Structure 1
């Protein structure tokens, strides 16, 4: 939340007489509709006003400059362009509402534009703690869970739903041409651990692989629990399946501070349906890496320093790291091509290098459009809830995105109190938020290929990993998190199946037959297979 005190200059007595009072409503952000409140008070010939908005980074106070009020219009500037950004607002009276447009500036450049809208109210609600999302039925699943007694519940991950057994093997690869920028030694090269999850042959009485190898070396006080069995559903270093000559290939990048093991449920699901998934542990950007020689690398403290600085410094560092991750992905694809051509290797000819896709979560998801822009070998890309900067999509402006793209994300479902704070009914909220998304993702409509934005009610940022299920401490929360995880698995596979397996109807083409938690929105041109 930030609370901004608007200190106004003298305004002539001809200023709009109906302005005084409290105006409550919302302003658009890349991730949703944020609550705002304007309070105007007149003292003699001067106005004093207060602007309050809900943000995720605590309470901040800004001065407001250049307030201008006429009979029909209002404009002002708030924020600090050197820190969190500067917001330039203009609006007009429209019936019972005061509403208009704004531009958010970061580092003197426009980050995004949006609408704001307020309605006069008679009382102040104050700023509550962030509410919990609720289900379409209007019941908060988290509040239900909180009323249930906690139990000593250690979950198991759901089994893969595909017909094929899953194998897993891990490689250590060193990019001798890629310098490691996270160390002080200018001669250090980029080193990565990459795990392959793949359709496997059933070899009788074999033992499942460990869920999280080297967990005891990498765990922290905040680490989520492991599955009760400590095992994955995959089997270590078994032979690839012979049911098909070759399989489409997907590359995966994790979120900041995570490890690929924490996405095992999604990776195993894809492999059981016939995909080879190369999951990259990005050194210094993950929780930690243990190399074959015993060296341990952990999340770089440069991330902490970046996030303790200004927003400008944060975004500069994030963009630099995104470029490194994109380079990692192309390097790994090069090594997979070599692996596929090793005559004596177990993966010789098993990888269909004409059908290659990319997906990632959070920081790893944000690079999805860049991967497809910069490396033409990738035929489709998917971002799982990755929005680490103020931009909803991160593109290289010098290049076009010519590949199908999907953004799989959470859908806010505000409580009744949160709706009241935005001065909206639920139908009004749905309509306004849908219009916001069309504007925020308007670039996708300019592409010559189809794109999707898929929203899941009840999900949050961590739902795209195994963590919420493994951290569940009630039966209802475990069931809810398992359902959300299965929805995410289904839509991830539906996207890649559309381009790599079957071009027929899928969940993406029949939104009315999908789960009630899911909203599918289409952008761009449909170019077919």
Structure 2
């Protein structure tokens, strides 16, 4: 809970105590509580902003303020009610306040954890259209593939800009955005309205930090049906350590993608069979290749921007979560410009002719990997297409490890611990899509290993963390070829 929300709840309880236990003759106490609570209420609403989780607290606070302030009036009728009714009503009121407060705790206004690097982080959004590629996920044959990408980079933030909102600031765009989410989950729009208060640690459209050498480039792909917004903290952390990071929204494979004209696209991707996965994976891989093309133009000045000459295109990395992780592997294998890659808990969609990869690669899996591996070994003799696919994938794992790459899993994590969803609410854990590990701890571990890998492969520094077990991170278990 935010500061004035806490103060508001405390003042609400203080008003209730005054009504129940303080005599009407204690005029100064009542007036002081009434005026103080009024100030707290006004400040909370205008500084922090209203949110529906505290609706019952707002109602009770206003009611209590009116009663406390007017109970000393000579015109106020001195009502006599029985103790049973008095304490029954009080108990009901306390329950309502506790419920409202609990909702505000389990559905908090969250801010992303602060990056661990020494630099401040700037961000900028670009809209790219691939005129050479038709959009195959829509019915209009004239559509071209359009992408929204967000860049994260080191900055000094000389003008002391305010931190950027995590979600769109424009009211109409934000409304369309949360409508897409709410429609997908069959929930009313207002449930997500409080997201507008969440903040990143980045500053929009600020100047890039001057450097004697260009910054390595890392591209980041989200999972199927999610969004680049779920990877903002990972992008910020890498940028704070001296990387330029690009998060890509793979259009029509997200919950929602917002374009500059105000249009919002939702999820339209068919992804039920292995053939579907390969077809969509090819689209996403081409997205990554196209975005690298655009950054070559930004770096050369062919596209006007502040990034001219600032990008080290000899040191390009790619990473992703889930389907985005599989895309990272595929793009790393196919695109000679990509030097290294990371797959965060993604099953590969293409395993044919992918077993000999001669580039540094890292697989980071969730804590369920160990149990999954046991189940697979019990079924590996089954004669079906999926088992063969998984067998080929594990063969790729072995080759990656044997050729100097890494494969680890993080105990206590589940699939969505590799996204920012773990910060949204503790209720997420009840669904099983995140594990028992503390969200900030899980995020920090993944960030440290991602940073260690890219520092070594793209900057030529460090890398000790990815060589083997470390006492600072006992949750991390290294996978050897013998385990597979």
Q: Offset of 1:204 from its aligned partner? A: 3.7
Aligned equivalents of 2:144, 2:392: Cα separation in 1: 42
Q: Offset of 1:275 from its aligned partner? A: 0.7
Which of 316, 328, 333 does residue 292 from structure 2 map onto?
Answer: 333
Aligned equivalents of 2:356, 2:128: Cα separation in 1: 30
Q: Offset of 1:208 from its aligned partner? A: 1.1
Aligned equivalents of 1:254, 1:452: Cα separation in 2: 21
Aligned equivalents of 1:518, 1:380: Cα separation in 2: 21
Structure with more of its chain in helix, by fraction: 2
Does residue 145 of structure 2 align to residue 186 of structure 1? no
Which of 375, 387, 412 does residue 368 from structure 2 map onto?
Answer: 412
Q: Offset of 1:192 from its aligned partner? A: 0.5
Q: Offset of 1:319 from its aligned partner? A: 1.1
Deviations 1:179-234 (A, max 9, x none): 11111222211000010011112214211111022443222234996668421100
Show the 5 A alignment for 1:238-277.
Answer: 238-277=206-245
Aligned to 2:45: none
Q: Offset of 1:386 from its aligned partner? A: 0.8
Aligned to 1:460: 414
Aligned to 1:295: 263
Aligned to 1:517: 475
Show the 5 A alignment for 1:133-152.
Answer: 152=105
Aligned to 1:355: 315
Say if 1:369 and 1:395, in contact at 8 Å, map to a contact too: no
Q: Offset of 1:162 from its aligned partner? A: 0.4
Aligned to 2:246: 278
Aligned equivalents of 2:266, 2:392: Cα separation in 1: 39
Aligned equivalents of 1:179, 1:378: Cα separation in 2: 24
Unaligned runs of 5+ in 2: 1-101, 379-389
Aligned equivalents of 1:229, 1:462: Cα separation in 2: 22
Aligned to 1:480: 438
Structure with more of its chain in strand, by fraction: 1
Deviations 1:329-348 (A, max 9, x none): 00000000000111863111
Unaligned runs of 5+ in 1: 1-148, 308-313, 425-436, 525-529
Aligned to 1:160: 115
**Cα separation, partners in 2 of 1:290 and 1:495, compared to 1, 3 Å:** same
Aligned to 1:68: none
Q: Offset of 1:273 from its aligned partner? A: 0.4
Aligned to 2:167: 212
Does residue 334 of structure 2 align to residue 374 of structure 1? yes
Deviations 1:91-145 (A, max 9, x none): xxxxxxxxxxxxxxxxxxxxxxxxxxxxxxxxxxxxxxxxxxxxxxxxxxxxxxx
Deviations 1:388-434 (A, max 9, x none): xxxx573351784221111111123999xx9xx99x9xxxxxxxxxx
Q: Offset of 1:442 from its aligned partner? A: 3.1
Aligned to 1:48: none
Aligned equivalents of 1:514, 1:261: Cα separation in 2: 29
Say if 1:201 and 1:240, in contact at 8 Å, map to a contact too: yes
**SS of match in other structure, 1:512:** coil
Aligned to 2:34: none
Query: How many aligned positions are there?
Result: 347
Deviations 1:18-61 (A, max 9, x none): xxxxxxxxxxxxxxxxxxxxxxxxxxxxxxxxxxxxxxxxxxxx
Say if 2:321 and 2:418, in contact at 8 Å, map to a contact too: yes
| TM-score, scaled to structure 2 | 0.65
Aligned equivalents of 1:339, 1:398: Cα separation in 2: 31
Aligned equivalents of 1:475, 1:409: Cα separation in 2: 18
Aligned equivalents of 2:228, 2:369: Cα separation in 1: 29
**SS of match in other structure, 1:450:** coil
Aligned equivalents of 2:257, 2:392: Cα separation in 1: 40
Say if 1:450 and 1:522, in contact at 8 Å, map to a contact too: no
Q: Offset of 1:349 from its aligned partner? A: 0.5
Aligned equivalents of 1:277, 1:505: Cα separation in 2: 19
Show the 5 A alignment for 1:109-124.
Answer: none
Aligned to 1:69: none
**Cα separation, partners in 2 of 1:151 and 1:237, compared to 1, 3 Å:** closer
Q: Offset of 1:242 from its aligned partner? A: 1.1
Aligned equivalents of 2:353, 2:370: Cα separation in 1: 34
**SS of match in other structure, 1:507:** helix
Say if 1:197 and 1:278, in contact at 8 Å, map to a contact too: yes
Say if 2:332 and 2:340, in contact at 8 Å, map to a contact too: yes
Say if 1:175 and 1:191, in contact at 8 Å, map to a contact too: yes
Does residue 461 of structure 2 align to residue 506 of structure 1? no
Does residue 358 of structure 2 align to residue 402 of structure 1? yes
Say if 2:369 and 2:409, in contact at 8 Å, map to a contact too: no
Q: Offset of 1:479 from its aligned partner? A: 7.8
Deviations 1:145-189 (A, max 9, x none): xxxx87624132210010111011000100011111111222211
Aligned equivalents of 2:315, 2:293: Cα separation in 1: 14
Say if 1:370 and 1:396, in contact at 8 Å, map to a contact too: no
Aligned to 1:365: 325
Deviations 1:276-311 (A, max 9, x none): 0111101101112121122221111x43xx54xxxx
| TM-score, scaled to structure 1 | 0.60
Say if 1:250 and 1:278, in contact at 8 Å, map to a contact too: yes
Does residue 448 of structure 2 align to residue 495 of structure 1? no
